[in-house]
């Protein structure tokens, strides 16, 4: 098993809590890539779901 971030050999046993990454740093780098690119739009949708009442009020104003 190799780390998707740095391609180093990874400890694939449950002792490695960062699997499939070799370290927390590599895991964060991978998540950071996500957050910076494709995940930006779904992130905005989650924000709307956190305030459903707010969203309703906006719709009332629009109609
Ligand atoms: Zn790594």
For residue 46, the domain's CATH number is 3.30.50.10
**Tokens standing for 58?**
């906006």
- Answer whether 0.75 is exceeded by the pTM: no
- CA 63–ligand 1 middle distance (angstroms): 52
Q: How many domains does the chain have?
A: 1
**pLDDT, tens only, 13-62:** 999 999 999 999 999 888 886 555 554 555 555 555 556 666 666 666 66
CA–centroid distance, residue 4 to ligand 1 (Å): 7
46, two tokens: 């989650």
pLDDT at 44: 52
Tell me if the bond preceding 20 is cis, omega within 30° of 0: yes
Residue 46 alpha carbon to ligand 1 centre in Å:
29
Distance in Å, CA 16 to ligand 1 centroid: 12
Which residue range is the domain that position 29 belongs to?
1-63
- Say if residue 3's pLDDT is above 90: yes
């Amino acid at each position: 098993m190799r780390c998707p971030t740095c391609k180093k050999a990874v400890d694939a046993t449950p002792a490695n809590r960062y699997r499939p990454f070799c370290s927390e740093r590599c895991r964060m780098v991978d998540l950071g890539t996500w957050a910076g690119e494709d995940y930006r739009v779904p992130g905005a949708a989650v924000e709307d779901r956190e305030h459903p009442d707010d969203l309703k009020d906006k719709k009332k104003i629009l109609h």
